[in-house]
Amino acid sequence: MTSPASPPDSKGTQLAPKGLKVLLAEDEPLIAETLGDSLEEAGFQVLKAVDTDSALAILRDQDPDVVLTDIRMPGAGGMEILRASVESDKLRPVIVITGFATVDNAVEAMRLGAINYIQKPFSNDSVVQMVRGSSRVRALEAENKSLREQLRVQTSCGSMVGASTAMTTVFDRIRTVAVTDATILIEGESGTGKERVALALHEASARSQGPFIAISCAALPESLLEAELFGHERGAFTDAHKEKRGRFELASGGTLFLDDIDDMPMPVQVKLLRVLQERNFERLGGETTVDIDIRVIAATKAPLRQLVRDGKFREDLFYRIHVVPVDLPPLRDRGGDVSLLARHLVEKHGGDREYTFSEATQAALEKYPWPGNVRELENAVQRAIALAGKAKELKREHLLPLDSRWRGATEPSDEVRPLREVIKAAEALHLERALESTGGHRTQTAELLGISRKVLWEKLREHGITSEDEG
């Protein structure tokens, strides 16, 4: 928040914003005394320094709003004060005073970051006016920073960013339900950031100091998944050489995130339903009941209602986890968010180097369908940074896939190509997108496309597309 401006004094002069501090670094006692009095009469809080070391200490400890420093100061000098001020706060106005005003002095001071300079002798009133103008700039910068922070809060949640209506709706839902212990079901395509949503829910909840434990139900076969979730006693099965706590126990007091719950085998679904109902369980091979205090968040990349109708997911478990749904949109439906996300990811992965996008690159980013969603965009940004080398501008060829069929489907061209090439490129795009939506499961992809698994295999081979099979 910025300080409110003070009312005019009895002479009608507008006083400085209340509480603004001015560092006056001046070693000539008369100038320091008279100029300091004038600044105080104008409403500033004056912090005086008679040498470089004391000025640097004030910069470090009291964070002044404006710096007014003589070039010639005992010690390292005013230029060092200027450098230290710019290094600690680039937005802080610095005005230099010199009795040796040469072009070189002025140019050097302005090059280092000073906003103005004053030559001795000078009028105290003119200096006060200059400081007052600088303080207004400082106040406006503080206000802009506050507004930017408010905008950041509105367009971000946890580690996610987005300004589209679809994402601000998700952010509102997260902030609303995070304070409850209700079970959450996050629905969204692969790569949309479902684990980030789960983590944001955890961090905004009363359980934020407890553990956040995540497990992918698609990553483990049935026997291992059950042991990972519930733990086991020593000797429960071959290679169970010692007791092991499962994810439910490890998450007690916090949040358990069950990713890809649509891939959970039926026998494990039965046991999960009981845990959600009773809030206790027994380890594999054990007889002791273990009580737990957890919040469960589940995520699915496939529509669970359809899986229930197909007999592949328990209806009673569906209603147990579908207490509060969070629908996470794919990147192609988040109008305008791609450029915002790309800049955020460049800041995340670009280190201290500042990168820019041309308008053509931003337009290409928004046009590209991003079948792999945010995960694909993040990979593209990391690749672009690597390919850009020392260049500061990330170009379209750095960010978009290098495969010619992707370029042909996403970039405008004056060339009229044979229809069979266009159809082939479109078919390859559609196959890639279908595979991505099923997480690489060929059987599910074939069902989704309405073709046999054999036909799918032949088309993938024809287009040179590889994927992990569901086995």
Percent of the chain with pLDDT over 70: 85
> Looking at residue 416, what is its pLDDT?
59
Instruction: Answer whether residue 376 is part of any domain.
Output: yes
Alpha-helix runs per DSSP H in 17-123: 29-41, 52-62, 78-88, 103-112
pLDDT given for residue 467 in this prediction? 58
Same domain as 433, residue 385: no
Looking at the structure, tell me whether residues 25 and 124 fall in a common domain. Answer: yes
| Residue 436 CB contacts under 8 Å (≥ 6 apart), including other chains | 189, 190, 191, 371, 372, 373, 376
Domain final position from 297, 329, 361: 329
Least trusted range by pLDDT, from 367-381, 426-440, 451-465:
426-440
167 in the same domain as 223? yes
Q: Same domain for 342 and 324?
A: no
pTM of the predicted model, to two decimals?
A: 0.57
Q: For 226-255, what is the mean pLDDT? A: 87
The 10s digit of each residue's pLDDT in 254-293 is 999 999 999 999 999 999 999 999 999 988 888 889 999 9
Per-residue confidence (pLDDT) for residue 438, from 0 to 100: 78
Name the more confident of 8 and 24: 24
* Per-residue CA distances from 369 to 254, 400, 411 (Å): 37, 11, 12
pLDDT at 1: 36
Q: Which of 133-142, 326-335, 403-412, 452-461 has the highest mean pLDDT?
A: 326-335
Per-residue model confidence (pLDDT) at position 222: 86
Q: What is the pLDDT of residues 23-49, one digit of tens each?
A: 999 999 999 999 999 999 988 999 999
6: pLDDT strictly greater than 70: no
Residue 365 is part of a domain; what is its CATH number?
Answer: 1.10.8.60
| 172 domain-assigned | yes
Domain termination site, one of 312, 329, 346: 329
Q: What is the pLDDT of residues 364-381, one digit of tens each?
A: 888 888 888 999 899 888
Within a domain: residue 9?
no
Domain shared by 126 and 241, yes or no: no
Inform me whether the pLDDT recorded for 253 exceeds 60. Answer: yes
**CB-based burial of residue 236 (10 Å sphere; 0-12 exposed, 13-18 middle, 19+ buried)?**
middle
Does any domain span residue 13?
no
Q: pLDDT value at position 240?
A: 74
Across residues 411-417, what is the average pLDDT? 53
Least confident among 176-185, 200-209, 412-421:
412-421
The stretch 330-343 carries a mean pLDDT of 88
Q: Compute the average pLDDT of residues 199-221.
A: 93
Provide the token pair at 441: 């499961």
Are 186 and 271 found together in one domain? yes
pLDDT at residue 415 greater than cutoff 60: no
Instruction: Give the residue-averaged pLDDT of 233-259.
Output: 88
Does residue 12 form part of some domain? no
The proportion of the chain whose per-residue pLDDT surpasses 90, expressed as a percent, equals 36
Domain identity same for 396 and 461: no
* 183 and 267 together in one domain: yes
The answer to whether residues 317 and 220 belong to one domain is yes
pLDDT surpasses 50 at 150: no
Residue 242 pLDDT > 50 = yes
Q: Are residues 202 and 293 in the same domain?
A: yes
335 shares a domain with 317: no
- Claim to verify: residue 227 and residue 87 sit in the same structural domain: no
The whole-number pLDDT of residue 3 equals 44
Residue 302 maps to which CATH number?
Answer: 3.40.50.300
In a domain, 388, yes or no: yes
What does DSSP assign to residue 456? H
Provide the domain count of the chain: 4
What CATH number did the domain enclosing 92 receive?
Answer: 3.40.50.2300
| Residue 11 confidence (pLDDT) | 42
Please report which confidence band the pLDDT of residue 5 belongs to, taking 50, 70 and 90 as the band edges. very low
Residue 145 banded pLDDT, cuts 50, 70, 90: low
Helix (H, G, I), strand (E, B) or coil at 349: helix
Q: Classify 123 as helix, strand or coil.
A: coil
Please say which residue of 400, 427, 457 terminates a domain: 400
User: What pLDDT shows up at residue 142?
Assistant: 61
Q: Domain range spanning residue 391?
A: 331-400
The first and second tokens of residue 231, run together, are 């733990």
DSSP letter, residue 333: G
Best mean pLDDT range from 160-164, 237-241, 318-322, 464-468:
318-322
- Ramachandran category for residue 187: left, alpha or beta (phi over 0 → left; psi -120 to 50 → alpha): beta
Q: Are 96 and 117 in contact (CB under 8 A)?
A: yes
Tokens standing for 263?
């891939």
Return the CATH number at 422: 1.10.10.60
Look up tokens 């990391």; give the residue.
382
378, two tokens:
């993040």
Report d(CA 301, CA 439) in Å as an integer.
8
